[in-house]
Amino acid sequence: MTARCVMVLGTSSGAGKSWITTALCRHYANQGLRVAPFKAQNMSNNARVVPASDGAQGEIGSAQYFQALAARAQPDVRMNPLLLKPEADTHSQVVLMGQVDEALSRLPWHGRGEAVWPRIAAVLDALRAENDVVVVEGAGSPAEINLMATDVVNLRVARHADARCLLVTDIDRGGAFAHLYGTWALLPEADRARIQGFVLNKFRGDPALLAPAPEQLRELTGIPTVAVVPMRHGHGLPEEDGWFGDGTAATAESPGERMTRIAIVAYPRISNLDEFQPLRSVPGIRLVWARDAAQLEGADWIILPGSKATASDLAWLRAQGLSGVIARHAARGGRVLGICGGLQMLGEAVIDLDGIEPAGSGPGLGLLPLVTQFARRKTVSRGAWRFGALHGAWAALSGVPVKGYEIHSGRTVQHPGMAAKGDVARVAIPGMAWHNAAGNVLGLYLHGLFEDADALRALFGVDAPPLEAAFEQLAAAVRQAFAPGTLAALVAG
């Protein structure tokens, strides 16, 4: 059979397409249907490792990974065939079917559409052949008239899949009805007919106050407003773009309360920041996204997360005056954790002989006696490991089994000159994790440490919030918000 496609379009980025798509995946899976998510093209440095068609492993956007879990489906690269990972303001690494494609990465934006569309169409057709419902997520807005001619993620997908579409807007931003009407007005007439309903997302207040706007909008467009979705905080999944706040604390302290303050350095090309979502649910933690030195002061932990441009973000870190604060924090015995690109920054140097990164080679922060050499070949894998013996601040991880994933370019090894002088990094996991002699600075290539139940329990004595509960709550939210019969009608034959 050929699956019915339900497509979630938005009036803008950040309208809430990703989490509504996730909720719909679980809702339809709860009806006993075979469901798969799909997003033809995603632009994000938040990625997960999943099986590829050739038996290898590849990358997809984190949102599609969680959508697959919500659908009770095995995540695979077909669910996000094209992933764009920004490396600079005007350049992205192109990942096609889970693997870096250097030729496509060199093509100008408008030249990629025709090159990639046959692959996109083929995998969408394959997913439709295997499932009852495919829930498709658009990107940005379908009414970007400067991009319509080369579109491979919004209207072209809707036409190919004969999708029934919802148009979602963020009412919390203001101007929601104008956004809905303007988007509808800019669409070609045939594509307007695909929109089955408008969705007002992130609403706070009394829905009765919306009148008479929904009916007036229907008179102008012929399209009903089929859902008013309340603002939801703390739903348990990473936000649409993986961002948890504006750089201030995610959890406020009560008067007289002493919380563990964890500062995560938010450099410009930060990646895989969605893996820190579980920290928001740990009692007694105050999470801060730090962009300047003042936001690092007083931290109990400093975390250097992943980066899509390690050398560039390292230069930014120095320019912002953060490197000195991190060094002083480490010298006082404060905890420092570097993950992936953050691990590379903690070493003595990053070496770029092949011009992999725009910023090239340079000195690291010098907190671990390691050196990293970038390479064109990318390490992309999932696996399970076990920490060896650690002491000091990270001793709780000793012997703890962990599961996670690697996505990085480059190989990190002991600095030979420093080893000759007796300064040797302590291996926590061979080829994967190292710590310093004092035991307070830990660097690892492993992504997903805080998503691992054993690691979270060892570090904080708590259990990770179950994803299943989050998926069910999201499904219940959309079921309650949508007009009766709407969700069933979208997948009716």
Given the residues 27, 408, 435, 447, select the one marked as catalytic: 447
* Contact call for residues 311 and 362 (beta carbons, < 8 A): yes
What letter does residue 369 receive in the DSSP assignment? S
Q: Of 323, 319, 321, 358, which is closest to residue 342 (Cα–Cα)?
A: 323
Provide the 3-class DSSP secondary structure of residue 34. Answer: coil
Tell me the chain's radius of gyration from C-alpha atoms. 23
Asked whether the beta carbons of 17 and 8 are under 8 A apart, the reply is yes
Cα 177 to Cα 200: distance, rounded to the nearest angstrom: 9
Three-state DSSP class for residue 460 = helix
Quote the CA–CA distance of 230 and 478 in Å, as a whole number: 9
Closest CA relative to residue 198, chosen from 451, 10, 403: 10
Check 340, 408, 415, 435 and give the catalytic one: 340
Judge residue 151's burial from the number of C-beta atoms within 10 Å of its C-beta, 0-12 exposed, 13-18 middle, 19 or more buried.
buried
User: What's the one-letter identity of residue 265?
Assistant: V
DSSP structure class, residue 359: T
Q: Are 444 and 341 in contact (CB under 8 A)?
A: no
Torsion of CA 321, 324, 330, 331, to 10 degrees: -160
Q: Please list the residues that pair with 86 across neighbouring strands.
A: 92
Token pair of 46 as six digits: 């938040």
C-alpha angle 127-131-136 in degrees, rounded to nearest 5: 60
SS3 assignment, position 164: strand
Contact 364, 345 (CB under 8 A): yes
246, with CB counted inside 10 A (0-12, 13-18, 19+), is exposed
317, amino acid identity: L
DSSP letter string over 276-316?
GGGGGGSTTEEEEEESSHHHHTT-SEEEE-EESSHHHHHHH
Backbone φ and ψ of 470, nearest 5°: -65, -45
Pairing of strands 164-170, 195-203: parallel
Strand partners, 199: 168, 227
Active site residue 447: yes
Distance CA 160, CA 168 (A): 21
- Give yes or no: 5 in active site: no
Catalytic sites, residue numbers:
340, 447
